[in-house]
């Protein structure tokens, strides 16, 4: 493993600016074309990644990959009162529509956004992916948020520090990636209706209400933000959707230190139509910005799967056994109901050559999965070059 890790480490050293280096810009862009009445902004986000994963840190299976290739076209009309966004993923192996929405501003405290967009579940999920320490954590894959079709109102009141977002959505995650682990725990497979080459059929819409309330303030040098998110699915599909999700958040910033804490709870609707606590999650992200070019991030994420969810997943798998041959059932449902707990502990180094526009990130993570009667440990190393403008 040492020779492979030497390459990203050497590149990190070469990319790190010296104190005597010429001043570099904070970022590339954004580049707007037009005037206040009508203007457009093309953007591009590229992430190249070398990832290694395995049970033995000294014998990881390495894979170079194009992690993201995303062109974005935004527009601003009528002096910013109407904005739109078209966001695509054009990786050759998984081209898809990410976002397509229009936003109308009546006031800073009242916007209406309609289309395919991020649900407002958690303030943490609203940050751009280019600001993450390499990628989304374990908890986002379990609890979301996610992109859905829907409409929401949102806004903020600067004087009071209050903000909000609330909307009605179609109840189906429109992309692969996040909010997919619940279905996997049941042995279910979710399609991707946003694929550009082979879209999966959309599932029947079932209203999902999602809301978030924020408050931000400052006490001397300490900045703080608190949020509470809730998501209620009025007709959840068993083994695919949480019926109810709740997530409190706390974000603290003092000088170069920033600490983000998020808690998650998800309830399922079981076969009898009752509501049962299905999973709990926790996320802690501690970041230290040494200077404008260097940051260190320590992140821990944990998901605990309750006995109620495990029993329901097993009952669901047993119920469909009669409709499938043994080989197909074993391949898909043999591990249904065996989820117990998942842990992800990682440390990341970020070299911000030109802010988030040109960044080199490397992380090392310890992965631990628990099931009744067994435990699996593994390691993951990712080194990523990011270009954004």
Instruction: Answer whether residue 20 shows pLDDT above 70.
Output: no
Instruction: Answer whether residue 45 shows pLDDT above 50.
Output: yes
Q: Count of residues for the chain?
A: 389
Question: How far does Cα 274 stand from its chain's mean position?
Answer: 29
What residues pair up with 212 in beta bridges, in sequence order?
165, 229
Mean pLDDT of 252-276: 95
Give how far Cα 111 sits from Cα of 84, 102, 227, 297, Å. Answer: 12, 10, 19, 34
Residue 203 is encoded by which pair of tokens?
Answer: 């599932």
Query: Selecting from 3.30.830.10, 2.40.160.10, 3.20.20.70, 3.90.1150.10, what CATH number does the domain 28-197+204-388 have?
Result: 2.40.160.10
Mean pLDDT of 181-201: 92
Predicted confidence band of residue 246 (pLDDT cuts 50, 70, 90): very high
Residue 132 is encoded by which pair of tokens?
Answer: 């993450």
Give how far Cα 324 sits from Cα of 313, 329, 333, Å. Answer: 17, 6, 10
Mean pLDDT of 111-130: 97
C-beta neighbour count of 5 within 10 angstroms: 17
Peptide bond between residue 103 and the one before it cis (omega within 30 degrees of 0): no
How many helices (H) and strands (E) are present in the chain, helices listed first? 5, 17
Average pLDDT, the chain: 92
**What is residue 387's predicted lDDT score, i.e. its pLDDT?**
96
Distance CA 131, CA 303 (A): 23
The model's pLDDT over 299-322, given as tens digits with 9 standing for 90+, comes to 999 999 999 999 999 999 988 887
Instruction: Answer whether residue 199 shows pLDDT above 80.
Output: yes
What residues pair up with 289 in beta bridges, in sequence order?
295
């Amino acid at each position: 493993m040492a020779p492979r890790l030497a390459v990203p480490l050497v590149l990190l050293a070469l990319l790190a600016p010296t104190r005597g280096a010429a001043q570099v810009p904070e970022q590339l862009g954004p580049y707007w074309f037009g005037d206040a009445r009508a203007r457009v902004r093309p953007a591009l986000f590229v992430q190249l990644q070398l990832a290694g994963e395995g049970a033995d840190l000294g014998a990881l299976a390495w894979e170079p990959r194009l992690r993201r290739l995303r062109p974005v076209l935004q527009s601003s009309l009528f002096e910013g009162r109407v904005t739109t966004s078209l966001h695509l993923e054009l990786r050759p192996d998984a081209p898809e529509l990410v976002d397509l929405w229009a936003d109308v501003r009546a006031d800073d405290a009242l916007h209406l956004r309609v289309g395919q967009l991020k649900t407002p579940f958690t303030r943490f999920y609203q940050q751009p992916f280019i600001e993450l320490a390499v990628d989304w954590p374990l908890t986002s894959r379990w609890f979301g948020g996610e992109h859905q079709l829907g409409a929401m109102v949102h806004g903020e009141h600067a004087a009071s520090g209050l903000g909000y977002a609330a909307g009605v959505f179609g109840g189906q995650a429109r992309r692969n990636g996040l909010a997919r682990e619940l279905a996997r725990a049941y042995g279910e497979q979710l399609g991707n209706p946003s694929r550009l080459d082979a879209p999966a059929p959309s599932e029947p819409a079932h209203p999902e209400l999602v809301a978030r309330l924020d408050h931000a303030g400052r006490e001397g040098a300490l900045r703080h933000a608190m949020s509470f998110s809730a998501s209620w699915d009025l007709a959840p599909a068993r083994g695919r959707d949480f019926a109810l999700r709740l997530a409190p958040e706390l974000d603290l910033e003092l000088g170069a230190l920033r600490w983000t804490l998020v808690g998650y709870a998800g309830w399922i609707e079981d076969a009898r139509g009752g509501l049962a606590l299905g999973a709990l999650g926790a996320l802690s992200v501690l970041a230290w910005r040494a200077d404008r070019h260097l940051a260190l991030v320590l992140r821990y994420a944990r998901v605990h799967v309750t006995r109620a969810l495990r029993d329901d997943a097993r009952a669901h798998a047993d119920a469909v056994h009669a409709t499938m041959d043994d080989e197909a059932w074993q391949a898909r449902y043999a591990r249904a109901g065996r989820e117990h707990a998942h842990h992800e502990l990682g440390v990341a180094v970020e070299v911000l050559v030109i802010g988030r526009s040109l960044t080199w990130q490397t992380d090392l993570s310890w992965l631990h999965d628990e099931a009744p009667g067994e435990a699996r440990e593994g390691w993951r190393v990712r080194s990523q070059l990011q270009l954004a403008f």
